[in-house]
A and B are shown apart, each in its own frame.
Chain A
């Protein structure tokens, strides 16, 4: 265990002991609080575990062990300087390494954004370790993409060749303003949360994956992760794990009608979708409500021991 490197203003909201593991060749940061069946909370791009800061207390008080990893390239985890260090399969393997190293069983996996394909990739290849799934503002199939992701303005332009390194690298546009644009209460976000997302991505090199991850979102049949996404969709349709779908009512990246609806088709036994206040980064607006939904859901689905 190490001392937190975070400044006091961020530690006030994220006071937990930082822990580090060697996972699949990378230094991976995570927090591990409470006791009980583990709930693993997975962030996406360009966030880090901080996104789940208001989940820790209610879930540990509900009798769960809460584990929040920072994906490699984000937060306090190692940030490889080479684009080739990042792939969907590689990120799934990173997570698999961490969760096996912790020897977690009866896992509830909470997936958001890229935490969806990554977490579901782990869950569907480690079903014997799983208890339940929670999905929010994410996707799990190759095509079609979200309409937002097909648009030149602003999405494809933002990470276009050279534009991506300039806009998201030099100017930190995704963490610096992108999250802000994708929350409902922007004033609260700017005052309370924005510095924590900026602080962990201080230099252009540290932001590499913020512009390379968008390039992995399949837009057509030539996409490089197409087969993995197809596998995730096939396996998810066969999955009988208890599942909960939570979505931001105002989500304009993965709109709930299309995306929560498709998860419901794939997982017809799932509860929800429960709509809460929130755009894409729904945790920034509705953490207490979502944490309560998860705690209640797990209380009603104890699973087999």
Chain B
């Protein structure tokens, strides 16, 4: 879990936000919505700004939360890698970072959601990031 750090808004000079993952149903299990709400103070911040993370590779990620009328906020989250504006993504790096973000999330959600089960699921489905 220490591999992921919540950071303040980073400089976007010379960078672009590269879309890497989206979730439309962050509240499918409400404890996941609660985790992000707590971590990024979303009840107060709302849609004012994304949340930001620094991953093990050193790459920073923006978490853009989304809302939908009639449903508790946030309803979804989009993850963007902050990368040099004109350079292609290092897909393997992003994949490893995303796996660490998932591990950070599951560790933070806690309760019946365990890292052991996430890691076992990753191994069962032979995810490169989980078996390396």
**A contacts, CB < 8 Å to B:** 82-84, 152-154, 156-158, 160-167, 169-171, 173, 176-178, 181, 212, 215
* CB contact between B124 and one of A152, A154, A162, A163 (< 8 Å): that residue: A154
Q: Does B82 have its Cβ within 8 Å of any Cβ on chain A?
A: no
Is B28 a contact of A166 with CB atoms below 8 Å? Answer: no
Is A161 a contact of B98 with CB atoms below 8 Å? Answer: no
Nearest chain A residue, comparing its CB with the CB of B118: A157
- Known A-B contacts A83-B25, A212-B25, A215-B25; the reply to A161 vs B124 at CB < 8 A is no
Is B25 a contact of A166 with CB atoms below 8 Å? Answer: no
Binds A, one of B7-15, B16-24, B50-58: B16-24
Is A161 a contact of B113 with CB atoms below 8 Å? Answer: no
B90: shortest Cβ distance to chain A, in Å?
15
Q: What is the CA–CA distance of A160 and B127 in the complex, to the nearest angstrom?
A: 16
Q: What is the CA–CA distance of A181 and B123 in the complex, to the nearest angstrom?
A: 13
Is A158 a contact of B121 with CB atoms below 8 Å? Answer: yes
Q: What is the CA–CA distance of A266 and B26 in the complex, to the nearest angstrom?
A: 36
Residues of A within 8 A of B99 (CB): 166
Q: What is the CA–CA distance of A212 and B23 in the complex, to the nearest angstrom?
A: 10
Is B117 a contact of A157 with CB atoms below 8 Å? Answer: yes
Could you list 20 examples of A-B contacts with CB < 8 Å?
Answer: A153-B117, A154-B124, A156-B29, A157-B117, A157-B118, A158-B121, A161-B26, A161-B29, A162-B21, A162-B26, A162-B79, A162-B105, A164-B23, A165-B21, A166-B21, A166-B99, A166-B102, A173-B127, A176-B125, A215-B28
Is A170 a contact of B21 with CB atoms below 8 Å? Answer: yes
Q: Does B95 have its Cβ within 8 Å of any Cβ on chain A?
A: yes
B114: shortest Cβ distance to chain A, in Å?
7
Q: What is the CA–CA distance of A261 and B113 in the complex, to the nearest angstrom?
A: 32
Nearest chain A residue, comparing its CB with the CB of B32: A161
A199: shortest Cβ distance to chain B, in Å?
19
Is B32 a contact of A160 with CB atoms below 8 Å? Answer: yes
Residues of B within 8 A of A171 (CB): 125, 127
Residues of B within 8 A of A156 (CB): 29
Residues of A within 8 A of B125 (CB): 154, 158, 167, 171, 173, 176-178
Nearest chain B residue, comparing its CB with the CB of A161: B32
